[in-house]
Amino acid sequence: MKESKYIWKNGNFINWQDATTHVLTHALHYGTGVFEGIRAYQTPQGPAIFKAQEHYKRLHDSAKIYGMTLTYSVDELIDVTKELLTKNELSSGYIRPLAYYGYKVMGLNPRPNPIDTIIAAWEWGTYLGDEGIEKGIRCKMSSWTRLDSRIMPPLAKATANYANSALAKMEALDCGYDEAILLNSNGTIAEGPGENIFVIVGNTIYTPPASDCALMGITAKSAATIAEDLGYKVVYKSLIRDELFLADELFFTGTAAEITPIREIDGRQIGNGKRGPVTEAIQTTFFKAVKGELSQYKNWLTYCK
Just list the catalytic residues.
Answer: 157
Instruction: Label the pairing between strands 249-254 and 258-265.
Output: antiparallel
**Helix, strand, coil shares, percent, the chain, to 5:** 30, 30, 40
The size of the interface with ligand PMP (CB under 6 A), counted in residues, is 15
Q: Which residue in 25, 88, 253, 279 binds ligand PMP (CB under 6 A)?
A: 253
Asked if 260 is part of the footprint of ligand PMP (rule: CB under 6 A), the reply reads: no
Q: Which residues in the 172-231 window bind ligand PMP by CB under 6 A?
A: 191, 194-196, 215, 217-220
CB of 139 to ligand PMP, least distance (A): 14
CB of 119 to ligand PMP, least distance (A): 16
Q: Which residues in the 8-67 window bind ligand PMP by CB under 6 A?
A: 37
The residues, any chain, with a CB within 8 Å of residue 76's CB and separated by 6 or more, are none
Q: Which amino acid is at 75?
A: D
Return the number of the residue (6 or 77) whose C-beta is nearest ligand PMP: 77
Instruction: Label the pairing between strands 249-254 and 93-101.
Output: unpaired
Q: Which residue in 254, 261, 271, 292 binds ligand PMP (CB under 6 A)?
A: 254
CB 252 within 8 A of CB 180: no
Return the number of the residue (102 or 191) whose C-beta is nearest ligand PMP: 191
Please state the φ and ψ torsions of residue 71, each to the nearest 5 degrees: -80, -30
CB of 141 to ligand PMP, least distance (A): 16
CA 286, 289, 293, 295 dihedral sign is positive
CA distance 175 to 49: 35
CA distance 61 to 184: 22
Return the number of the residue (6 or 223) whose C-beta is nearest ligand PMP: 223
The DSSP element (H or E) to which 53 belongs, if any, is: helix 52-65
Q: Which residues in the 93-112 window bind ligand PMP by CB under 6 A?
A: none
CB of 97 to ligand PMP, least distance (A): 12
Return the number of the residue (102 or 214) whose C-beta is nearest ligand PMP: 214
CA distance 19 to 6: 9
Return the number of the residue (32 or 255) whose C-beta is nearest ligand PMP: 255
CB of 180 to ligand PMP, least distance (A): 11
**Cα angle, residue 83 at apex, residues 78 and 89 outer, rounded to 5°:** 130
Strand partners, 235: 206
Asked if 147 is part of the footprint of ligand PMP (rule: CB under 6 A), the reply reads: no
Binding interface with ligand PMP (CB under 6 A): 37, 157, 165, 191, 194-196, 215, 217-220, 253-255
